Structure 1
Amino acid sequence: MSAALPSSRTRWWALVVLGLTQLMVVLDGTIVAIALPAAQADLSIDDGQRQWVVTAYAVAFSALLLLGGRIADFWGRKRTFMVGMVGFGAASAWGGLAQSGGELIAARGLQGVFAALLAPAALAMVAVLFPSGRDRNIAFAVFGIIAGTGAAFGFLLGGVLTQYADWRWCLLVNLFFVVAGLIGGKFLLLESKAEGDTRYDILGTVLVALGLGALIYGFARAEHGWGEADTIGFLAAGAVLMAVFVWWQGRTSHPLLPLRVVRDRVRGGAFLLQAFVGVVMIGAMLYLTFHFQIVLGMSPVAAGFGNVAMTVVIMATAPISTKLFTTFGPRVVLTVGPLLAAAGLFFLSGITAEGSYWSEVLPGLVVMGLGFSLIFVPLQNLALAGVDPHDAGVASALANASMHVGGSIAVAVFTALYSSSVTDALTQGTDRMPALAGGYGDVLFAAAWVMVLGAVTSFGLIRGPRAGATPPAEAVAVGH
């Protein structure tokens, strides 16, 4: 059943609420990164546990996003959004008051669970509120820029809170977002949900959660050796479970992830590129932040500001990127964008212990900003282009899941790569700081090649001058 869209003014205010929600979910993937050294010392967290403060959030978020998308579709997107907000706020409060490393990691995981409800509900409501035309392109450009800059904003806000308040405020600050989201959601958002078959795929949920969990844990164990039995075992189990999941989605009458959502060439390319972006924004940028604090000796605030250059460039060039997207279509901008991001990462991979931020880091971040501006403007629009209203939530979930799965695997793989690089350098007699800088550089070099792969993917899969730029008006309807 469809209903009239709300007034134009109400829709744009609703976008503000949904954008703040997206900002909270994205920045929470990185805001604790700068606080990690302080939290580690305060709670006596060992190095092995440290990465799980970041990874626990991403794993829970990624594993449950598809289910969260289906809950939003079937139960109601506004209702799911509101419940997710309350739960996310409670988990944030628990994490901010944690008295041990185990509590903090558990709270981060619980944040991920409720973020898996919030994110797909918010993105699906953007698709519902802006069904077609120029307004849709603008709305998704705004949403995409928020998603893209949220990670860097998380580093900045984390630095300010850690240095001038306490690392715990990196979690407690979410309560302000939650209050704003609940008030705005109540008065500005309309309920919408899918009609027809609304049965849940419980087996599919179990398979994808266990499969993703096993894969990410297996990659995390690779730090201790790729040939170790538990590393191979978890990776093999994850691969098998994911293969069974895909097989099951093609057989069940009520799939968690309808394969029609990913079979579309343009959407499939967008989902893959989202994963590659997650590798850089969640995985590689974490190590650049470590370089700022540990090697260059920056304060938390200075380290946070160190990432702002890329964010400023993305926001400043977004109007130009939007115009280029409209003029040349997604294939061109989503090929050139990753290549520019790769060029910036290749430059950054040359960081040294003796170098300065201004000569070895800033130019690379500026070039990366130009590239990511071209990526973020159209990416989420393409991921939801032409999606049936019955599948809006799950398509939104997959767009988010792609980025966070890419980031989760990247954190684990980059940890193994970094550890191996540093160990080899120290064994050869290299001093500690140059060894650390070399390890961070190797991570950034690997991330650069991932973005080259992203450019190849876009060029090969995103066909046509304006393929999928805007879905037909009837593609998404508002239902009650």
Structure 2
Amino acid sequence: MHTTSVPLASPAVGATTAVHPRRWWALGALALAQFLVVLDASIVNIAIPTLGADLGLGPAALAWVITAYVLPFGSLLLFGGRLADRFGHRRVFLVGTGAFLGASTLAGLATTGELLLAARALQGAAAALLAPASLALVTRLFTSTRDRARALGIWGAVAGAGSAAGVLLGGVLTAAFGWQAVFFVNVPVGILVLVAIPFLIGRDVPGKRTRLDLAGAATVTSALVVLVAGLTSAERLGFTDPLVLGLFAGAVALGAAFVVVERRAADPLVPFAIFANRSVTAGNVAMLLLGGAMVALFFALSVFLQEVMHLDALGAGLTQLPLAVALVVVAGIVPPVVARLGVRKTLAISLLVFAGGLAWLAAAPAGADFLVHVLGPTLAIGVGLGGAFVTATQLAVHGVDGGEAGLAGGLVNTSQQVGGALGMGVLATVAAARTEALTTAGASAEAALAGGFSLVFLGAAGLAVAGAVVAVAVRDRRSANSARG
């Protein structure tokens, strides 16, 4: 039977639009693409030792295997979101997915460290197109409050599971097929998405023809690059190093320049009026704090399992299966809870559960046993993350006009990535100092590492608690219940 895809309109908030006939199938494809984006930020963590030995990369170069992806991804998201609003969400999504697929193939085929780092940078740039366009398409496909809540629950369950699944799949794939497999795994999924989307989502209806704010894009991208570079350098050099202080000063100066440029631009990259919507503001701040806690958690946990508990890559990956399952299950059942409690309360409760699991994990000793010291905390973490990731995203896109859906997607993804860089920069530095102090005091290597990671987990818990406070404190002026549903 021949079918034609239904084009996407650009409805204003509250407008009544036709129900897209294959929106749930399209949601599955979009969620798979976002899963790959999140997955690739964490899947290489466990593969790094094997990868480094094979390509002859030293410790500094190995750190760039992560940074080379995160840096262009986080810094280009706002521009990617605006490109999607300007040229069409489906079009930019397909371009980003195709580029991500090609860069992943290149990374898997890399025979030198330089080629691998270049491929990782291309992956990050492609992800910056794919991610905001994906979220924009979800919000445009599902226009009713109830359906959008359900859709974001499913989208968040699949996408949010990417971080947890990265540790699991990274261990399994590296042990079974080598480090190249952590990149090649993207290929079949990417092809499936590229083939499916044109049949499920029709061509974009032309939106408002606006001038691209290239000056704004250049200043904000530069500011984010310099900020992340400063945070990355702080992990090695400390926050008082002159280079680090200079980078932070440069980031502040570029950020100020961006504000000046945006206030003068006819069609700004980020219209600051969007933050008059307190739901957008609260959702992005909560995602910033959640991103900091989440990235620090998965990095520290992967190292804790291998260096403190002495699990191999496969064992470390398999121990994260309960966390991943809890995250996916809870994210999928969040919408009924939101309907009963409201998105803000659900977000706050989820973040507090997440914080409780982190604090529990911080008590794990050097001789930790998985069943006694790790299973319970990681289950609580999965439950909290599942609820928090979905509801923070839902809050951040609440009430956004269809013409700014890409911008909203870029903002919330940027918040997550910048938060991750902040969390890693600050908490990794604190952990390193604590580990060094314990080693100097005569503690064993395992005990010193456990003490350092304990501070990482406690610091991440503090970020989650702060996010819970923001969720309930920053409210819309219009109504105390404006973000419900």
TM-score normalised by length of structure 1: 0.93
Aligned pair partner of 1:262 in 262, 275, 292 = 275
Amino acid at match of 2:460: A
Q: What's the counterpart of residue 280 of structure 1?
A: 293
Per the TM alignment, residue 145 of structure 1 is displaced from its structure 2 partner at its CA by: 1.5
1:107 partner amino acid: A
Which residue pairs with 1:130 in the alignment?
A: 142
Whether the aligned pair in 2 keeps the contact of 1:63 and 1:213 (CA below 8 Å) is: yes
In 2: Cα distance, 1:166 partner to 1:35 partner: 8
Q: Which secondary structure state, in structure 2, belongs to the residue aligned with residue 190 of structure 1?
A: coil
Match of 2:403 in 1: 390
Contact 1:417–1:439 under 8 Å retained in 2: yes
Aligned ranges for residues 224-243 of structure 1 at < 5 Å? 224-243=237-256
Mark the runs of 5 or more structure 1 residues left unpaired by the alignment.
471-480
Supply the AA of the counterpart residue of 2:452.
G
Give 1:419 deviation, angstroms.
Answer: 2.0
1:28 aligns with 2:40: yes
Q: CA RMSD in A?
A: 1.9
Q: Choose which of 423, 428, 436 in structure 1 pairs with 2:449.
A: 436
Q: Which moved more, 1:371-380 or 1:166-175?
A: 371-380
Instruction: Report the Cα distance in structure 2 between the residues aligned to 1:266 and 1:81, rounded to whole angstroms.
Output: 25
Among candidates 297, 306, 315, match of residue 328 of structure 2: 315
Give 1:51's aligned amino acid.
A
Work out which of the residue numbers 329, 334, 349 in structure 2 matches 1:336. 349
Q: Secondary structure at the match of 1:468?
A: coil
Matched, 1:148 2:160: yes
Match of 1:70 in 2: 82
Check 1:226–1:318 CA distance in 2 against 1; reply closer, same or farther (3 A cut).
Answer: closer
For the residues of structure 2 that align with 1:310 and 1:466, how far apart are their CA atoms?
32
Deviation at 1:369, TM superposition (A): 2.1
Work out the CA distance in 2 between the residues paired with 1:366 and 1:68.
35
Counterpart selection for 1:16 from 28, 34, 43: 28
Q: Does 1:93 align with 2:105?
A: yes
Return the alpha-carbon distance in structure 1 between the equivalents of residues 332 and 141 of structure 2.
22
Which residue number in structure 1 is paired with residue 4 of structure 2? none
Q: Answer whether contact 1:351 1:438 (CA < 8 A) is retained.
A: no
The answer to whether the Cα contact below 8 Å between 1:344 and 1:365 also exists between their aligned partners in 2 is yes
Amino acid at match of 1:442: L
User: Greater CA deviation, 209-218 or 377-386?
Assistant: 377-386
- Give the structure 2 partner of residue 478 of structure 1: none
1:151 shift after superposition = 0.6
Distance 2:437 2:94 in 1: 50
In structure 1, distance between residues paired with 2:194 and 2:66: 26
8 Å CA contact 1:330, 1:465 repeated in 2: no
Contact 2:88 2:207 in 1 (8 A): no
SS at match of 2:416: helix
Ranges in structure 2 where 5+ consecutive residues have no aligned partner: 1-7, 11-15
Contact conserved, 2:344 with 2:483, CA < 8 A, in 1? no
1:47 aligns with 2:62: no
SS of residue matched to 2:68: helix
Q: C-alpha distance in 2, partners of 1:60/1:6?
A: 37
For 1:400-421, what per-residue CA distance to the aligned partner results, in whole angstroms no more than 9, with x for missing partners? 1111111122223333222222
Question: Which residue number in structure 2 is paired with residue 402 of structure 1?
Answer: 415
- 2:478 aligned with 1:468: no
Indicate the residue corresponding to 2:430 in structure 1: 417
- Residues in 1 aligned to 2:87 and 2:141: alpha-carbon distance in whole angstroms: 18
Aligned to 2:385: 372
Do the aligned partners of 1:55 and 1:411 also contact (CA within 8 Å) in 2? no
Cα 1:292/1:21, change in 2 over 3 Å: same
Distance 1:321 1:188 in 2: 26
CA distance in 2, matches of 1:319, 1:184: 23
Amino acid of the structure 2 residue aligned with 1:449: G
Aligned to 1:181: 193
**Structure 2 length normalisation: TM-score?**
0.93
After superposition, the C-alpha distances for 1:241-291 in whole angstroms (9 at most, x for unaligned) are 112212322221111111122231111010111111211222221111111
- Alignment equivalent of 1:196, drawn from 191, 201, 208: 208
Partner SS, residue 430 of structure 1: coil
| 2:133 counterpart residue number | 121
Aligned residue for 1:45, secondary structure, equals coil
1:101 & 1:466 partners in 2: Cα distance? 52
Contact 1:330 1:466 in 2 (8 A): no
CA distance in 1, matches of 2:66, 2:452: 19
Which amino acid is 2:303 matched to?
F
Is the 8 Å Cα contact of residues 325 and 333 (structure 1) preserved in structure 2? yes
Distance 2:300 2:93 in 1: 32
Q: Is the 8 A contact 1:31 1:155 kept in 2?
A: yes
CA distance in 2, matches of 1:396, 1:294: 37
1:75-126 deviations in Å (ceiling 9; x for gaps): 1111111111121111111111222223222211110000011111111111
CA gap 1:33/1:337 in 2 versus in 1, 3 angstroms: same
Q: C-alpha separation between the residues in 2 aligned to 1:216 and 1:2? A: 37
Mean Cα displacement is larger for which, 242-251 or 51-60? 242-251
Give the structure 1 partner of residue 3 of structure 2: none
**CA deviation string 1:194-233 (max 9, x = no partner):** 6334211111111111111111111122121222110100
Question: How many percent identity over aligned positions?
Answer: 35
Give the residue type in structure 2 aligned to 1:173. Answer: V
- Report the secondary structure of 2:432's partner residue: helix
Task: Tell me which of 48, 69, 88 is aligned to 1:57.
Answer: 69
Partner of 1:476: none
